[in-house]
Amino acid sequence: MTNTSSPDHSLFERPIFEDPEARALSRVGVVDVGSNSVRLVVFDGAARSPAYFYNEKIMCALGAGIAETGKLNPTGRARALAAIARFAAVAKTMRVYGLTAVATAAVREATDGPDFCAEVLAQTGVNIHVIDGSEEARLSAQGVLTGWPGAYGLICDIGGASMELAEINDGEVGKRVTSSLGPLKLRDLKGGKKGRRSFINDTLDDLYQQMGNQRNRLFLVGGSWRAIARIDMERRGYPLKVLHEYRMTATTVRDTARYIQENDLDELRSRCGISSSRMDLVPLAIEVLKGVLRRFKPHDIAISSYGIREGVLYEQMSDHIRQRDPLIEACRFMEAKDARIPGFGKALYKFVFPLFKSAKADRLRLIKAACLLHDVSWRAHPDYRAETVFDSTTRANLGGLKHSERLFLGLSLLHRYRNKAEGTRFEDLAHLLSDKERHDAEVIGKAIRFGAMLWQQDSNNMGTLKYYPKKGALNLRLPTSTGALYGEVAESRFNSLCNTLGATPSVTVKD
């Protein structure tokens, strides 16, 4: 990404939630009838970066035993029907009408799948769309694009009874295939471990022939992959417990596979917060993952919390909504909802921009996000605002953020309320950022901390900063009408910013 010489760039387009098209997507309900689980998600807020207004999952195991009987698991079927009836009632309470329901491998393969869908429609009014494997792969890929616009690589979505692959390049979905490599299917295979390994290898050989070389990033979608990532975090002692955009390598996956073999599964499940029904499938899923890595040799691996449900929402977006930045749109929405002076983030960004003229676009994006979020935690007690905003930012449902970027943004906002990070929860995560990144985040936070002192109705009258890095000087120019705002606290914050920059401060007040 290239740098920009002006603070008035594309990040300042009109907030997407003001668009009538986006408002039509402000609350969308999706029911995902999978082979292992049935889930209701209601998305709310900025359409480009959906918030999870409601999220409920029932582990039904509809696909258990389907390889032997050809039918949906009877117990799972009854539980799924009850779950969907509940979801329909919950959605009605939330005034979400016209639920979009999709069913995947188990329902499409079972001989009684059509009968199940008819029963659901008759008893709940929910019309289930049974999608084929290619469509499932496409929707999962679109879910990944919800979080990573313009992403490239291979999507690997594992469910209970199937596994789909799809390639994405420049934000477009390309080739896609489906397979029977779901752990519920593998559990029912005959021939033991040897037969299972042969089946996995033969299937992956066929998938490789269809997909060709895919050595870019591998995006992992699905509950079994997320469970493996949780165990990988536990093994490594990784401190930031956010699954979305968590990174692994082929080496760490192999190490985690050994770790799973060496540990008691019940004890490991308890430590990692994984359900027993999910944990039963993890040893089978990691066999598949190791095979995928051997065949496709991706250069890195990223966990995606976004998948088919987000792909259904993405399907309903227009192209111009899809092109917007999910991080910035989420921050805009949070500012409009929670800040004391919505809209001031734009003026604040313009004010601090002279400090960062040489920054690249990806850094300016984080600075803009910090400016938009600088006041959303004002309701917290003053003694805890710094840690409140740090915790909420590092754990928030924000798309388009690497873990290092998430932490950088959180640290910037921590410094918006506090000069020093010592003695905060950041210390446990500090090693995830370089010394320069920690310093840059401190500069951003202190610049915002000072700029927030210059609030007024006419945001164009805040004053201007002139930064001379080679001379080591920072000049603040204030119009006479704003001079009264530069009191003792403002002066102290300005000097703190200059001290962090290593710059000599000067202040000019004149029209």
CA separation (Å) from 472 to 74, 298, 371, 494, 496? 74, 45, 24, 15, 14
Q: Give the separation between CA 268 and CA 455, rounded to whole angstroms.
A: 51
CA separation (Å) from 23 to 14, 231, 318? 14, 39, 12
Residue pair 451/482 in contact (Cβ under 8 Å)? The answer is: no
Sign of the torsion formed by the C-alpha atoms of 227, 230, 236 and 242 = positive
Q: Is the pLDDT at 346 greater than 60, yes or no?
A: yes
Q: Is the pLDDT at 270 greater than 80, yes or no?
A: yes
The pLDDT value given to residue 49: 77
> Tens digit of pLDDT for each residue in 39-71?
999 998 556 777 889 999 999 999 999 989 999
The pLDDT value given to residue 2: 39
* Out of 5-14, 169-178, 373-382, 422-431, least confident range: 5-14
Report residue 1's pLDDT band, with 50, 70 and 90 as the boundaries.
very low
The reported pTM is 0.90
Q: Report the amino acid identity of residue 472.
A: G
Q: Is the pLDDT at 363 greater than 50, yes or no?
A: yes
Query: Which tokens belong to 168?
Result: 């994405």
Query: Who contacts 68 (Cβ-Cβ below 8 Å, separation ≥6)?
Result: 188
Span 410-426, mean pLDDT? 95
Q: Is the pLDDT at 271 greater than 80, yes or no?
A: yes
Q: Is the pLDDT at 22 greater than 90, yes or no?
A: no
Span 65-80, mean pLDDT? 95
Q: Is the pLDDT at 7 greater than 80, yes or no?
A: no
The pLDDT value given to residue 10: 47
What percent of the chain is predicted at pLDDT more than 90?
81
Q: Judging by DSSP bridges, how do beta strands 100-103 and 27-33 pair with one another?
A: parallel
Rounded to 5 degrees, φ, ψ at 344 are -70, -25
Would you list the DSSP string of 283-301? HHHHHHHHHHHHHH--SEE
Q: Give the separation between CA 446 and CA 450, rounded to whole angstroms.
A: 6
Span 345-358, mean pLDDT? 96
Paired with 103 in beta bridges are 33, 130
Query: Which tokens belong to 264?
Result: 């008691």
Select from 52, 54, 111, 44 the least CA-distant residue to 77.
111
> Tens digit of pLDDT for each residue in 131-173?
999 999 999 999 999 988 888 999 999 999 999 999 999 889 9
| Domains detected in the chain | 26-130 (3.30.420.40), 134-310 (3.30.420.150), 322-509 (1.10.3210.10)
Residue pair 165/207 in contact (Cβ under 8 Å)? The answer is: yes
CA separation (Å) from 275 to 59, 86, 227, 253, 266? 9, 21, 9, 20, 10
How many other β-carbons are positioned within 10 Å of the β-carbon of residue 319?
A: 7
CA separation (Å) from 139 to 29, 143, 192, 408, 478? 15, 6, 33, 31, 53
What percent of the chain is predicted at pLDDT more than 70?
94
> What per-residue string of b and e applies to 63-84 under the rule 16 or more CB within 10 Å gives b?
bbbbbeeebbbeebbebbbebb
User: Which uninterrupted H or E stretch holds 442?
Assistant: helix 435-451
Q: Report the amino acid identity of residue 20.
A: P
The pLDDT value given to residue 321: 86
Q: Is the pLDDT at 273 greater than 70, yes or no?
A: yes
* Summary mean pLDDT of the chain: 92
Query: Which tokens belong to 132?
Result: 């084929």
Q: Give the separation between CA 94 and CA 266, rounded to whole angstroms.
A: 37
Helix/strand/coil for 250: helix
Select from 248, 441, 413, 427 the least CA-distant residue to 334.
413
Report residue 3's pLDDT band, with 50, 70 and 90 as the boundaries.
very low
DSSP letter for 15, please.
P
* Cβ-based burial of 488 (10 A; exposed 0-12, middle 13-18, buried ≥19): exposed
Q: Give the separation between CA 221 and CA 144, rounded to whole angstroms.
A: 8
Query: Which tokens belong to 336?
Result: 């409009």
Helix/strand/coil for 176: strand
**How many CA atoms are closer than 13 Å to the CA of 96, on its beta-carbon side?**
24
> Tens digit of pLDDT for each residue in 208-241?
999 999 989 999 999 999 999 999 999 999 999 9
Span 473-484, mean pLDDT? 92
Q: Report the amino acid identity of residue 232.
A: D
**How many CA atoms are closer than 13 Å to the CA of 135, on its beta-carbon side?**
12
> Tens digit of pLDDT for each residue in 450-472?
999 998 766 778 899 999 999 99
Select from 142, 185, 219 the least CA-distant residue to 36.
185
Residue pair 352/426 in contact (Cβ under 8 Å)? The answer is: no
Cα 440 off chain centre by: 24
